[in-house]
């Protein structure tokens, strides 16, 4: 049943958001949205925030689910693999601060090019299978939520988090931490939608895989395995 899952999504997101907000209210500065990591960093960073820590965890779970779909739901592999590549690109982007700090400045811009190029090339080469896979699963609530999350992450949060906008709105009362708080919470909402969409897509891909007829070669291979295991 789908309703218990959606209730669980609602309760989980509400509880986690409540915990994050109450953490800051009860102990101001606990969200660490404006940390001066070193004297040369005048702007500060939010990379040490619990919100920023939660985001890569969500991305990792989404990426692993897409890998599972690619492995066990062959008909949805042309969709799952590009989404898995996007999850890897998101992960690199979220870790850009630490890659620059501990490895090499602007290294993330080089690393992110690999999954981005892979997604573009794979999508082009598998475009026919991608159309077939899309036709099999659409309309899909999971893919719709993935699209909604992508709109927030790629477009909405970038425009709303535009620093000159907040400087214009707040004027002399401008504090960068306000802009960062709004930006990070909106971004977290986008990742929540991405996670829910991935979970729902996984359920739908799994259901399609079970409905599909098992190829004769695979049935024979499984039969031989059962016979071999029966001998011992």
3-state secondary structure 172-213: HHCCHHHHHHHHHHHHHHHHHHHHHHHHHHHHHHHHHHHHCC
The answer to whether residue 230 sits within a structural domain is no
* pLDDT score of 33: 78
The answer to whether residue 140 sits within a structural domain is yes
Count how many domains the chain has.
1
* pLDDT score of 161: 86
The answer to whether residue 124 sits within a structural domain is yes
Q: Is 160 exposed, middle or buried (0-12, 13-18, 19+ CB in 10 A)?
A: middle
**Is 0.95 topped by the overall pTM?**
no
* pLDDT score of 221: 65
* pLDDT score of 189: 93
The answer to whether residue 220 sits within a structural domain is no
CA angle centred on 65, ends 59 and 70, rounded to 5°? 125
The answer to whether residue 162 sits within a structural domain is yes
DSSP string, 10-76: HHHHHHHHHHHHHHHHHSTTTT-SSB--STT-SS-B-TTSHHHHHHHHHHHHHHHHHHHHHHH-GGG
Closest Cα to residue 126, out of 77, 78, 74? 78
Contact criterion met (CB below 8 Å) for 54 and 23: no
Q: Report d(CA 34, CA 175) in Å as an integer.
A: 10
The answer to whether residue 228 sits within a structural domain is no
The answer to whether residue 41 sits within a structural domain is no
The answer to whether residue 15 sits within a structural domain is no
pLDDT tens string 30-64? 888 777 776 666 666 777 788 888 999 999 999 99
Contact criterion met (CB below 8 Å) for 115 and 86: yes
pLDDT band at 232 (very low <50, low <70, confident <90, very high): very low
Segments forming the whole domain that contains residue 72: 47-213
Q: Report d(CA 220, CA 101) in Å as an integer.
A: 54
Look at the block and give the residue holding tokens 């209210």: 25
Contact criterion met (CB below 8 Å) for 211 and 78: no
């Amino acid at each position: 049943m789908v309703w218990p899952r959606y209730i669980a999504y609602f309760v989980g997101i509400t509880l986690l958001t409540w915990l994050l907000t109450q953490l800051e209210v009860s102990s101001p500065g606990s969200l660490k949205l404006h940390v001066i990591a070193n004297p040369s960093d005048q702007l500060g960073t939010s990379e040490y925030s619990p919100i920023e820590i939660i985001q890569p965890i969500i991305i990792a779970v989404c990426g692993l689910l897409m890998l599972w779909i690619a492995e066990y739901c062959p008909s949805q592999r042309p969709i799952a693999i590009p989404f898995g590549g996007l999850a890897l690109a998101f992960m690199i982007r979220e870790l850009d601060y630490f890659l620059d700090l501990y490895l090499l400045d602007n290294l993330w811009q080089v690393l992110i090019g690999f999954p981005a190029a892979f997604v573009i090339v794979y999508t082009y080469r598998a475009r026919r299978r991608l159309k077939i896979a899309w036709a099999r699963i659409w309309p899909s609530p999971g893919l719709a939520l993935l699209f909604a999350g992508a709109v927030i992450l790629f477009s909405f949060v970038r425009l709303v988090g535009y620093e000159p906008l907040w400087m214009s709105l707040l004027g002399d009362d401008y504090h960068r931490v306000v802009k960062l708080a709004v930006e990070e919470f909106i971004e977290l909402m986008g990742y929540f939608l991405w996670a829910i969409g991935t979970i729902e897509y996984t359920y739908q891909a799994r259901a399609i895989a079970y409905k599909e007829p098992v190829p004769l070669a695979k049935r024979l291979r499984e039969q031989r395995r059962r016979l071999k295991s029966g001998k011992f």
